[in-house]
Amino acid sequence: MTSPHLHDTAGLPDYRAQAPAVAERFRRLRERPVVLEVDRLGREFSGEHGMVTALREVSFSVHRREFVCVIGPSGCGKSTLIRMVAGLDHPTSGRMLLDGREVAGPGPDRGMVFQGYTLFPWLTVTQNVMFGLEMQRVDRGTAEARAREWIDLVGLGKFAKHYPAQLSGGMKQRTAIARALAANPRILLMDEPFGALDAQTRAQMQTHLMEIWRNVDVTILFITHDLDEAILLADRILVLKANPGEVQELIEVPVPRPRSLAQVTSPEFLATRRRLDELIHPPAAAHEGEPEKLPIVRLTQVGDDVE
């Protein structure tokens, strides 16, 4: 989704320039305790031609109630990264600390929202949200009451007794968010959660998510391939590069909060967008793989033009 005109737009500020309020916010953010520390994490797969490095020496930390987005070109291992943080995949080197304690394997302290919803189809919305609580041996009555609160929070009160198959994509993903949050995780991991939604629903979900994040004590690590989504949501953006997956830059987003879709055209937003475009779609790389133009010959009559 490269917008070439952005490269041409002159007079944008440096994406590193922060307004005083924004700089102050980042200063306070850095003072908060670190929730997740990823320390030189690496992952190798055995491929057809020997070992393939998917991720190499990835290090970063996420502070309490921070919103960090991870972006990168396809094949950069961003999904592998979040799956390793969730404990669903094993790193081949490095370690992860959650609240200073090393973690391995999946656990309810790291909640996850998947792109494919992964709601339990045999459970109603309420029962889905109760699942994590029941796993923590919360008694049924309490679990149901707490689930109810989360369902109301994501605005699905009327659909509490529906089965997932009866919900739209956006409602499914709201249920999945409520389910993950109800288990009271230290950090919420989101793996391209809005990737399967249509543009309108996605914009709505982004607004919902920001609303939830503002009001709930939760730290979010969010994977996306949508650059605008990353800038809109994130405090900081972790940019990965592919082959092997490595940290390219950790960008502090200069767009002031509270955020809204209206900021998409603000100078800070556009400056950040231009920087991300440079990182993700470097001008040189575009010529390497695919030819500029398709080798199409004219198959219509002369004069029969559509533009």
Partner 1 sequence: MPRTRWFAVRQELSIRQRRLFGLMAILLPLAAWSLVSYVPFVWHPMIEVTEPGDVTWLKSGQLVPRADFEREVARLGQAGGRVPEGERANPIYLPAPHRVAVALYTAFTTEPKLRGDLWLHESLAMSIKTIFFGFIISSAVGVPLGILCGAFASIARMTEPVVDFIRYMPAPAFGALMVAILGIHLEPKIAIIVIGTFFQQVLVVANTVRKTELSLLEAAQTLGARRKHLVLRVLVPASLPDLYNDMRILLGWAWTYLIVAEVVGVSSGITFFINQQAKYRNFENVYAAIVIIGIIGLVTDQVLAFIGERAFPWRNHRPSRLRTILGRLFAGREVTLFD
Q: Which residues bind partner 1 (CB under 8 A)?
A: 86-88, 106-108, 110-112, 114, 116, 118-123, 131-132, 135-136, 163-166, 179-180, 183, 189
Least separation in angstroms between CB 95 and partner 1: 19
* DSSP codes of every residue in 182-198: HT--SEEEEESTTTTS-
Least separation in angstroms between CB 96 and partner 1: 14
Those residues with Cβ within 8 angstroms of residue 307's Cβ, 6 or more apart along the chain or in another chain: none
Nearer to partner 1 among residue 60 and residue 131 (C-beta)? 131
Least separation in angstroms between CB 261 and partner 1: 30
Which helix H or strand E contains 286, and what residues bound it? Answer: helix 285-288
End-to-end CA gap in the chain: 23
Least separation in angstroms between CB 183 and partner 1: 5
| Distance (Å, whole) CA 164 – CA 169 | 9
Nearer to partner 1 among residue 18 and residue 124 (C-beta)? 124
Nearer to partner 1 among residue 156 and residue 232 (C-beta)? 156
Least separation in angstroms between CB 46 and partner 1: 19
Nearer to partner 1 among residue 38 and residue 231 (C-beta)? 38
Strands (E), the chain: 34-47, 50-63, 67-71, 93-98, 101-102, 110-113, 187-191, 219-223, 236-241, 246-252
Chain length of the chain: 307
Nearer to partner 1 among residue 108 and residue 195 (C-beta)? 108
